[in-house]
């Protein structure tokens, strides 16, 4: 009888122990993210230097640096106080896409006139943000670093990985959302 009591007491003592936390099998140091961030910083600096060369070669143009990280100038500016697109507005526009060497990637004929519902449809980041700055009748040329264009993946057709772009955009009309 004594051995059973002793076994019961021992099993009670060991069964009351709280479970140990499980340890991960492998620990990641985060170095992948650090290397990726460094690579992107270098790429951004390189692209900004290329864009700055274009700006320097065209002193006649008044380039404006956007808060979003791209540059633009007005080919045709509307001075009147008219509307700019807001969320849900339908923007009718046309544009072309060139690389920084002015080689045409997509012409206006390739892309055709677009109807875009502001912030409700897919459009690359820089163009979406650029359209928000425009009024009907304006023509603007944008210089987009790759992270504001098609980024790492490109468009899986003619635009490759990390390609900065020049886009000349014409807004035809803006139909305000009711």
Q: Mind listing the pLDDT tens digit for each residue in 4-58?
A: 777 667 766 666 556 666 776 665 666 888 888 899 999 999 999 999 999 999 9
Provide mean pLDDT across the span 57-71: 95
DSSP string spanning the chain? -HHHHHHHHHHHHHHTSPPPPPPPSS---SHHHHHHHHHHHHHHHHHHHHHHHHHHH-TTS--EE-TTS-EEEEEE---S------TT-EEEEEEEEE-TT--EEE-HHHH--EEEETTTS---HHHHHHHTT--TT-EEEEEE-GGGTTTTTTTSSS--TT--EEEEEEEEEEE---
As assigned by CATH, the class of the 62-175 domain is alpha beta
pLDDT at position 15 is: 64
Lowest mean pLDDT among 8-17, 78-87, 143-152, 164-173: 8-17
pLDDT at position 99 is: 97
- 178 vs 86, higher pLDDT: 86
- 18 vs 124, higher pLDDT: 124
Tell me: the pLDDT tens digits for 76-107? Answer: 999 987 899 999 999 999 999 999 999 999 99
């Amino acid at each position: 009888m004594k051995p059973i009591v002793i076994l019961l007491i021992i099993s009670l003592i060991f069964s009351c122990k709280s479970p140990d936390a499980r340890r991960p099998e492998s620990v990641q140091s985060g170095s992948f993210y650090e290397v990726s961030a460094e690579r992107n910083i270098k790429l951004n600096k390189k692209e900004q230097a290329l864009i700055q060369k274009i700006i320097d070669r065209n002193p006649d143009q008044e380039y404006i640096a956007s808060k979003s990280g791209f540059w633009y100038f007005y080919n045709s500016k509307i001075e009147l106080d008219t509307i700019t697109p807001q969320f849900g507005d339908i923007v009718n526009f046309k544009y072309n896409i060139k690389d920084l060497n002015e080689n045409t990637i997509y012409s206006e004929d390739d892309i055709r006139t677009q109807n875009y519902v502001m912030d409700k449809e897919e459009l690359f980041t820089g163009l979406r943000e650029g359209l928000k700055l425009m009024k009907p009748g304006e023509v603007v040329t944008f210089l987009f670093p790759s992270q504001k264009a098609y980024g790492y993946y490109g468009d899986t057709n003619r635009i490759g990985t990390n390609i900065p772009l020049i886009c000349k955009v014409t807004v035809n009309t803006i139909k305000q959302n009711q």
